[in-house]
């Protein structure tokens, strides 16, 4: 998944995780490169047996297109140096990456959870955190009888339907019968 | 006959300094006013914000109190209209010493939900993020997905996109004016802002079917073409909008109270703003001419004529004036778009469930709050592999702890309103 | 309490019984902590007592001046504000003052998605509101979790944490829809059909140990 196609207005390259500070520092301080703005810092999980990646997007007046720097982070020991010394605005990005993926940023003075409660024990955006198939199994739920069709009492269903679709002399017994073309005058718009 | 005072009396504590007060209290046999510090809870206010030991340096810095300081919780429910955010404010008297924003009260897990949804469904999941600029929320992923799929939207679709996006910008900035005045106690401008918003939103509901979370963009174009009702409402609105905006402006801009509460308040220099990651009108009000529509033109913005507006000053007043100027700029852009709109189809031919080539794409737009961008990774399947949104309000909130120390508590909401965050975007 | 509660199998068909909770177990737990439901608290049932003219007028007064609490959480809050402002005006129904303090509010219009982190503060707001109080779940996120159905941090419907009187579906509901919901609430108020429960706090109950004499 590493060497895939990328969009044509972005220049992208990968670096090992421990060199992120020097690479980003050079990109920012070099007068010809002058990537002064950090547009985005994101984390990607490439799978349970693969690695993480911290992806930085940078902008410069002197170059067309965005620059994407991908720093590879080991999954078993997800640590990388923090860039909050260079851009203070990376603080919230890194807190979010820690909260969602569990990547620890060394040198970040405030690495705590930002979205989830401080005592939350899992990292939601990892690939081994699977969203439940049945909503009632999700950790945010309880049991709501209305969402369990097996608890519905259908013994009065036919009467309830008859109130909404009253039998009339033009109609047959079930909805859809009787009038030519069905319930809908325009037969093309009849649901099939 | 004189009598000596039977009980030793301690003078009024306001007149003492801390050491003397402690000495006198100890001499009188009273318990110490503040429990001895030490151990894990060193420096924590015993009232209990928060009720567990500090985990990080910054937390320790914020939650340890010197003499005379106090922690106030501007809790998730407060009369300001930005949504659910909690600010733990450390004050000395009425003056703020430090702020710790606690976020996450609206975190809905949209990024994770999008990884399990098809590309078209993703465009509906992103709507309620920054719910005041829904069209921008959909525009960025549409750009990223079109890059991944390798198609371009037809020109009429691009013009319609730009039209609704600018309309969205107009009403979002109009609402900011109302919220700024509301957070300072002025209850009337918000009514004018909502009148304007309701007109625009009725217009957009004629074209997209929805009043707020318009599910309008598709990969490869937009969903519906313009219709008679939309165009007639657009004409009516256009003939009235400048006067409405000016009415609102007159009420606020020259107002003595408003001026004294915003001029010189919350000043961000250009370098500070860039370092903090602030973008959008907040950055341009500090003098940096960065506008994504000019810096990295997308859609049809390179065919339209407009300048990047900046203001010097970087205070709340400049941010307010910047947004008014951008409203007028957007109206000018809308005029040009309506002039130049070509005929043609509004949606490219794409299958229902698209499977783009495996790859990475980055799409960035200029939302009313700043640079809103989407980084999407596709693995060739029907759902995105990773869908990441960078929300501008989230990053701009980092400016608040840097701007507020030294100001009064009542100015917190005013400065925050001038930064115009929307909690849906902050918390995703 | 060995009460035969209805059970069913879970949706995956594994046969594990799921006990559908009813209020009895909740009451038992609350009683352990000293909270007991007040026998005359709340308006239970349809016109439990024969209303006098004074009661009728009192209900009319309550219905026509329901003061909402400013509890806008997310997108539905903007539509609630739109309902409150000039174009769709609920001031004509008496609901102009959106109180900031729960102590002064009658109705809690939960407008916006309720997340697990916010559920605690919201329940605390509900408990702080004095009775009689009503709750309106506005929008599909509060009705059933809405578009965030499988999310790990969204409470699937506000009725999992507090009793709801009126559900207003929509994403977000049109202001006219919210006004319709408030009209339904007026009916409820006049018929004394609120869902809130009043508890009496008897203080911490002493744990019973083996060998206790008292």
Flag whether A57 is in a domain: yes
Chains that touch B (3 or more CB pairs under 8 A): A, C
> What is the distance between the terminal CA atoms of chain B, rounded to a whole angstrom?
77
Residue B40 is predicted with a pLDDT of 40
- CATH class given for the domain over C53-198: alpha beta
Least CB–CB distance from B104: residue in A10, A12, A114: A114
- The partner residue sitting opposite C73, judged by closest CB among B106, B113, B211, is B106
pLDDT tens string B36-74 = 444 444 433 333 355 566 677 888 788 877 788 888 888
Query: Does the structure show a pLDDT above 50 at C214?
Result: no
Contact criterion met (CB < 8 Å) for C75 and B424: yes
CATH (domain of A108)? 3.30.460.80
Query: Using one digit for the tens of pLDDT, what is the confidence trace for B66-120?
Result: 788 888 888 888 877 688 888 888 998 889 999 989 899 999 989 999 998 899 9
B residues 21..60 contacting A (CB < 8 A): 50, 52, 55-59
B338 pLDDT more than 80: yes
Mean of pLDDT values over B160-182: 93
CB of B111 within 8 Å of any CB in chain A? yes
- Contact check, Cβ <8 Å, A131/C152: yes
| Interface contact B128-C87, CB threshold 8 A | no
> Does A134 fall in a domain?
no
Cβ A90 vs Cβ A38: under 8 Å: yes
The mean per-residue pLDDT over the stretch C136-149 comes to 89
Contact A67, A27 (CB under 8 A): yes
Residue B307 Rama label (left phi>0; alpha psi -120 to 50; beta): beta
Strand (E) or helix (H) holding B180: helix B155-183
Which chain A residues contact residue C23 at CB under 8 A? none
Max avg pLDDT among A144-158, B155-169, B407-421: B155-169
Q: What is the mean pLDDT of residues A178-183?
A: 46
Helices (H), chain C: 23-32, 53-64, 75-84, 116-128, 140-144, 175-190
pLDDT digits (tens, 9 = 90+) for A126-135: 888 877 665 5
- Which pLDDT value is given to residue C181? 93
Which is more confidently placed, B269 or C41?
B269
Partners of residue B377 in chain A, C-beta under 8 Å: 44
Q: Give me chain B's average pLDDT, please.
A: 85
For residue C8, what is the enclosing H or E element?
Answer: strand C7-9
What confidence score (pLDDT) does residue C176 get?
Answer: 93
Structural domain includes residue A78: yes
Instruction: Residue C152: list chain A partners with CB under 8 A.
Output: 124, 129, 131, 138-140
Q: What share of chain B has pLDDT > 90, as a percent?
A: 57
Q: Per the domain annotation, does A3 fall within a domain?
A: no
Total domain count, chain A: 1
C166 to each of A152, B124, B367, C158, C196, how far by Cα in Å?
21, 27, 36, 11, 12
Domains of chain B in sequence order: 110-427 (1.10.645.10)
The interface predicted TM-score (ipTM) is 0.83
- C205 has pLDDT over 80: no
Percent of chain C with pLDDT over 90: 24
Q: Which two tokens stand for residue B146?
A: 């079109």
Where does B224-345 have alpha helices with state H?
228-253, 256-262, 270-276, 281-284, 292-295, 316-340
Flag if B107 and A129 touch (Cβ within 8 Å): no
Q: Does B423 touch chain C (CB under 8 A)?
A: yes
User: Has residue A154 been placed in a domain?
Assistant: no
Beta strands in chain A (DSSP E): 5-6, 10-16, 37-45, 52-59, 66-73, 79-81, 104-106
Chain A residues with beta carbon closer than 8 angstroms to that of B397: 92
Is residue A17 situated within a structural domain? yes
| pLDDT at residue A151 in the model | 60
Task: Tell me the HSE value of B173 on the side-chain side, using a 13 A CA sphere.
Answer: 26
Question: What's the domain range around A81?
Answer: 10-127
Query: pTM of the entire structure?
Result: 0.81
**When comparing pLDDT for A141 and B373, which is higher?**
B373
Question: Is residue B422 within 8 Å of residue A71, measured between CB atoms?
Answer: no
Chain C residues within 8 A of B211 when measuring between CB atoms:
79, 172, 174
In the predicted structure, residue C11 carries a pLDDT above the cut 50: no
Share of chain B above pLDDT 70, in %: 87
The pLDDT value recorded for residue C200 is: 66
* B80 interfaces chain C, CB cutoff of 8 Å: no
The answer to whether position A161 is within a domain reads: no
Q: pLDDT (tens digit, 9 = 90+) per residue, A40-54?
A: 999 999 988 889 999
What's chain C's average pLDDT?
Answer: 77
Q: Which residue has the higher pLDDT, B65 or C174?
A: C174
């Amino acid at each position: 998944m590493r060497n895939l196609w990328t969009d044509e207005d972005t220049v992208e390259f990968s670096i090992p995780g421990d060199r992120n500070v020097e690479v980003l520092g050079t990109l920012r301080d070099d007068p010809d490169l002058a990537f002064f703005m950090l547009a985005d810092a994101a984390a990607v999980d490439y799978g349970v047996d693969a690695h993480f990646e911290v992806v930085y997007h940078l902008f410069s007046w002197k170059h067309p297109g965005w620059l994407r720097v991908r720093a590879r982070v080991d999954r078993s020991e997800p640590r990388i140096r923090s860039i909050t010394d260079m851009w203070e605005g990376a603080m919230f990005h890194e807190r979010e990456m820690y909260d969602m993926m569990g990547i620890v940023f060394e040198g970040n003075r405030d690495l705590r959870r930002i979205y989830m409660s401080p005592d939350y024990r899992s990292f939601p955006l990892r690939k081994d955190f699977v969203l439940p198939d049945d909503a009632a199994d999700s950790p945010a739920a309880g049991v709501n009888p209305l969402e369990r069709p097996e608890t519905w009492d259908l013994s009065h269903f036919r009467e309830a339907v008859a109130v909404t679709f009253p039998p009339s002399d033009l109609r047959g017994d079930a909805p859809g019968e009787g009038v030519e073309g069905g319930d809908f005058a325009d037969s093309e718009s009849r649901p099939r | 006959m004189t009598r000596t005072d039977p009980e030793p009396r301690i003078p009024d504590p306001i007149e003492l300094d801390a050491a003397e007060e402690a000495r006198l209290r100890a001499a009188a046999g009273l318990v110490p006013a503040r429990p001895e510090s030490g151990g894990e809870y060193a420096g924590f206010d015993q009232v209990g914000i928060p009720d567990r030991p500090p985990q990080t340096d910054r937390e320790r810095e914020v939650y340890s109190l010197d003499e005379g300081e106090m922690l106030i919780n501007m809790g998730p429910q407060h009369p300001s209209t930005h949504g659910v955010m909690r600010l733990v404010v450390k004050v000395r008297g009425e003056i703020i010493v430090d702020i710790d924003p606690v976020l996450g009260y609206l975190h809905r897990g949209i990024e994770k939900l999008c990884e399990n949804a098809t590309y078209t469904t993703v465009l509906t999941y992103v709507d309620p993020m920054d719910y005041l600029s829904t069209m921008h929320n959909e525009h960025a992923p549409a750009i990223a997905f079109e890059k991944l799929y390798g198609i371009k939207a037809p020109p009429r679709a691009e013009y319609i996109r730009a039209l609704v996006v600018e309309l969205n910008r107009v009403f979002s900035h109009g609402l900011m004016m109302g919220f700024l005045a509301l957070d300072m106690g002025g209850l009337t401008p918000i009514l004018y802002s909502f009148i304007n918003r309701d007109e625009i939103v009725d217009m957009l509901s004629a074209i997209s079917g929805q009043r707020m979370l318009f599910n309008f963009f598709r990969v490869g174009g937009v969903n519906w073409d313009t219709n008679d009702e939309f165009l007639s409402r657009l004409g009516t609105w256009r003939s009235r909008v400048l006067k409405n905006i000016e009415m609102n402006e007159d009420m606020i801009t020259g107002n003595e109270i408003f001026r004294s509460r915003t001029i010189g308040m919350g000043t961000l220099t250009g370098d500070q703003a860039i370092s903090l990651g602030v973008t959008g009108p907040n950055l341009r009000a500090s003098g940096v001419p960065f506008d994504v529509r000019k810096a990295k033109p997308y859609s049809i913005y390179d065919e339209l004529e407009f300048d990047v507006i900046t203001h010097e000053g970087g205070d709340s007043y400049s941010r307010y004036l910047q947004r008014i100027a951008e409203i007028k700029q957007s109206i000018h852009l809308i005029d040009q778009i309506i002039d130049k709109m070509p005929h043609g189809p509004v949606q490219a031919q794409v299958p229902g469930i698209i499977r783009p080539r495996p790859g990475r794409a980055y799409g960035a737009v200029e939302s009313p709050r700043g640079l809103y961008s989407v980084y999407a990774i596709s693995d060739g399947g029907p759902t995105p592999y990773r869908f990441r949104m960078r929300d501008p309000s989230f990053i701009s909130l980092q400016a608040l702890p840097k701007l507020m120390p030294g100001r009064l508590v009542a100015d917190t909401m005013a400065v925050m309103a001038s930064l115009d965050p929307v909690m849906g975007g902050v918390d995703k | 309490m060995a009460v035969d509660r209805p059970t069913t199998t879970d949706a995956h068909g594994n046969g594990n019984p799921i006990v559908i909770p009813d209020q009895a177990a909740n009451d038992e737990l609350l009683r352990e902590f000293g909270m007991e439901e007040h026998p005359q608290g709340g308006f239970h049932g349809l016109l439990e007592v024969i209303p006098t003219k004074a009661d009728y007028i009192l209900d009319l007064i309550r219905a026509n001046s329901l003061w909402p609490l400013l509890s806008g959480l997310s997108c539905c809050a903007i539509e609630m504000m739109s309902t409150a402002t000039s174009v769709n005006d609920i001031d004509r129904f008496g609901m102009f003052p959106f109180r900031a303090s729960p102590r002064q509010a009658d109705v809690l219009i939960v407008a916006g998605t309720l997340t697990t982190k916010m559920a605690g503060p919201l329940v605390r707001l509900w408990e702080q509101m004095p009775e009689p109080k009503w709750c309106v779940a506005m929008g599909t996120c509060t009705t059933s979790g809405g578009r965030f159905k499988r999310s790990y941090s969204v409470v699937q419907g506000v009725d999992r944490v507090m009793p709801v009187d009126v559900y207003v579906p929509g994403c977000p509901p049109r202001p006219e829809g919210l006004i319709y919901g408030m009209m339904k609430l007026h009916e409820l108020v006049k018929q004394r059909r609120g869902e809130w429960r009043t508890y009496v706090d008897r203080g911490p109950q002493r744990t019973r140990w083996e060998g206790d004499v008292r």
